[in-house]
Structure 1
Amino acid sequence: MIIYEIGSIAFGIFSVIFIFISITSKNEIAKAFYMLCFFLSNIVALLCDIVIKLN
């Protein structure tokens, strides 16, 4: 159970890092890639939160 809590926090931190890199990037392809990583990390963090709530 603690693994899902750590995963939720870690992916939340990753999403903040990815959105910061996306905002500061000059390359359009890199912006799109980091925005995709941002959304995927938010989805994984949300899934971890759902697993925590279900148990």
Structure 2
Amino acid sequence: MGRSSKMNPLNAMGLDHTTTAPGGDPDYILQLVNDVRKFSDVLLSLKEAFHSK
């Protein structure tokens, strides 16, 4: 048991731990990607707000 028995979203996408950066935590990387997507959405909303004036 241990970390390898935990459900890993990267495994569900056909990726395993060997494809991540050395020492990279897949959960942290996925959270970072989600944060970047949210930030991108906010920037797009701001852009649309300024262009609508």
- Any runs of at least 4 consecutive aligned residues in structure 1 with deviations exceeding 4 A, and if so which? none
**In angstroms, what is the RMSD of aligned CA positions?**
2.1
TM-score (norm 1): 0.54
Residue segments in structure 1 that go unaligned for 5+ positions in a row: 1-22
Unaligned runs of 5+ in 2: 1-20
Report sequence identity in percent: 6
Report the structure number with the largest CA radius of gyration.
2
Aligned residue number for residue 45 of structure 2: 47
Give 1 or 2: higher helix fraction: 1
1:37 is aligned with what amino acid? D
What number of residue pairs does the alignment pair up?
33
Query: TM-score normalised to the size of structure 2?
Result: 0.56
- SS of 2:24's equivalent in the other structure is coil
Cα separation, partners in 2 of 1:35 and 1:26, compared to 1, 3 Å: same
**Partner residue of 2:31 out of 16, 22, 33:** 33
CA distance 1:35–1:28, shift in 2 (3 Å)? same
